[in-house]
């Protein structure tokens, strides 16, 4: 269940509005920062694996059937997942690779190779390095976990197409910025690049990686026509 909004929300709005007039206009139109850190850890990463390369309806159906394999739990533990056979996981619609990835994630947690309790001592990059050791988890998934589950304030998902498209549109670039150019552009937003990315997603009415969506404001909607 979602908790209160991130504690850096007000400072982020003030800093970004002062540092960047383009972002200041977006912030004024979108409104308060709406990131709500989620407590899920194993569940969030398993869900991310299931949703990879799938349309929302299909992914939701498979996710529901996966959770349904464990009727006595709101969500299974790593040990419960590892107790299932590959055939049982495949039967709910998981591909062979995704069944392997979820079991690999569960094994990393069970064996202590991925210890969420240590993350508060680690930098963003150290956490990313740990997460990408799991099969099926890439940098983007790790960044979304930092932003929406750990509440880290200064993550810039520079490979995200939504962020790239928003920057291209609002800053009138001829092409989508590549990773290097985007990171250079985003330096002005430190130490609240997470908030900047959230506002850029909202400015194009993009369904966010945490699954939430919001209709654009009247001003933003008019500009898109």
Residues near 26 by beta carbon (within 8 Å), at least 6 away in sequence:
170, 199, 200, 202, 203
Catalytic positions, please? 160
CB neighbourhood size of 196 (10 A): 28
Report the distance separating Cα 156 and Cα 128, nearest Å.
12
CA distances from residue 62 to 36, 66, 86, 103 in whole angstroms, order as listed: 25, 6, 15, 16
Looking from the CA of 149 toward its CB, the CA atoms found within 13 Å total: 22
Angle at 178 between CA 133 and CA 212, to 5 degrees: 65
């Amino acid at each position: 269940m979602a908790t209160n909004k991130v504690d850096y929300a007000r400072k982020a709005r003030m800093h970004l509005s002062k540092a960047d007039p383009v972002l200041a206009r977006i912030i004024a139109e979108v409104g308060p920062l709406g990131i709500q850190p989620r407590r899920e850890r194993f569940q969030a990463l398993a869900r991310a694996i299931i949703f990879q390369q799938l349309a929302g309806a299909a992914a939701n159906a498979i996710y529901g059937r996966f959770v349904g394999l464990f009727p006595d739990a709101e969500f299974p533990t790593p040990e419960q997942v590892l107790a299932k056979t590959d055939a049982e996981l495949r039967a709910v619609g998981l591909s062979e690779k995704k069944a392997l990835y979820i079991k690999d994630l569960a094994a990393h947690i069970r064996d202590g190779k991925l210890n969420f309790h240590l993350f508060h001592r680690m930098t963003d990059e150290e956490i990313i390095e740990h997460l990408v050791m799991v099969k099926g988890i890439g940098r983007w998934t790790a960044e979304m976990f930092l932003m929406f589950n750990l509440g880290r304030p200064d993550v810039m998902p520079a490979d995200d197409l939504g962020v790239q498209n928003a920057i291209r549109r609002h800053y009138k670039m001829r092409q989508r910025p590549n990773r290097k150019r985007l990171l250079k552009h985003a330096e002005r937003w430190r130490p609240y690049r997470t908030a900047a990315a959230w506002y850029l997603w909202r400015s194009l009415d993009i369904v966010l990686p945490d699954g939430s969506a919001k209709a654009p404001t009247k001003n933003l909607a008019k500009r898109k026509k």
